Amino acid sequence: MAFEPTKGYGALRRGRFSQAGAFYFITFCTAGRKAGLTEGDRPNAVQQELHVMTRGDVWTLHCGTIMPDHVHLLVELGPKLSLSKAVARLKARTAAKLREAGLSWQAGYFDHRIRPEEDILPYFLYTFLNPYRAGLGPERTEWPWFTCEPADREWFLSLVEHRLPEPAWLADLP
């Protein structure tokens, strides 16, 4: 079979770039989509590193949800690392905690750079509502592994009842 440079992982990544100050919606999974991220102290370890990275200007975490087998994040990339290096850092610094439970991170991740003209609210809604859509808890209680920065929390949670339609590309995400 001949090598086709327009296909495969390299082609998928071509044209993507990291831009400090840009907003990104990111999803990454455990290897084999094995559940266990929300058990024991694993979600605390992931949340702690997310906040360490915010304090270190790697990114500003606007919101995130840790699901049993994947994580959704809405971040504003900071000046210190590229997006791929930021995700790699998060995975590396939480890998030992996952290994204790026989888990590991899947290679790669999904990202979508949010254009300045795009409405950011549907991304907050998708991230917040993901556990409820998966049947993991009652809608009237906040998922314990949802995090939202205080400035964003104030305006966002007042709008949750509106449940705006999700962008079409979000429909097939985990």
Total domains present in the chain? 1
Name the percent of the chain lying above pLDDT 70.
Answer: 82
**pLDDT at site 12:** 45
pLDDT band per the 50, 70, 90 thresholds, residue 138: confident
Quick check: 36 and 68 in contact, CB under 8 A? Answer: yes
- Mean pLDDT, to the nearest integer, of 109-125? 92
Domain boundaries, position 115? 19-168
Q: In what order do the strands lie in the sheet with 70-77?
A: 110-114, 23-29, 70-77, 59-66, 146-148
CATH number for 152: 3.30.70.1290
**pLDDT at site 156:** 84
- CA distances 77 to 39, 48, 121, 160, Å, are 28, 18, 18, 25
pLDDT at 109 over 80: yes
Quick check: 170 and 65 in contact, CB under 8 A? Answer: no
Establish if 7 belongs to a structural domain. Answer: no
pLDDT at 3 over 90: no
pLDDT tens digits, 48-100:
999 999 999 999 999 999 999 999 999 999 999 999 999 999 999 999 999 99
Establish if 112 belongs to a structural domain. Answer: yes
Establish if 43 belongs to a structural domain. Answer: yes
Establish if 26 belongs to a structural domain. Answer: yes
**pLDDT at site 146:** 94
- Tokens linked to 157: 């949670």
Establish if 25 belongs to a structural domain. Answer: yes
Least confident range of 19-23, 38-42, 105-109, 137-141: 137-141
Establish if 64 belongs to a structural domain. Answer: yes
Q: How many helices (H) and strands (E) does the chain have?
A: 5, 5
Listed in sequence order, the DSSP H helices in 42-145 are 42-55, 83-99, 121-133
Establish if 5 belongs to a structural domain. Answer: no
Establish if 111 belongs to a structural domain. Answer: yes
Strand partners, 60: 76
- Mean pLDDT, to the nearest integer, of 126-135? 90
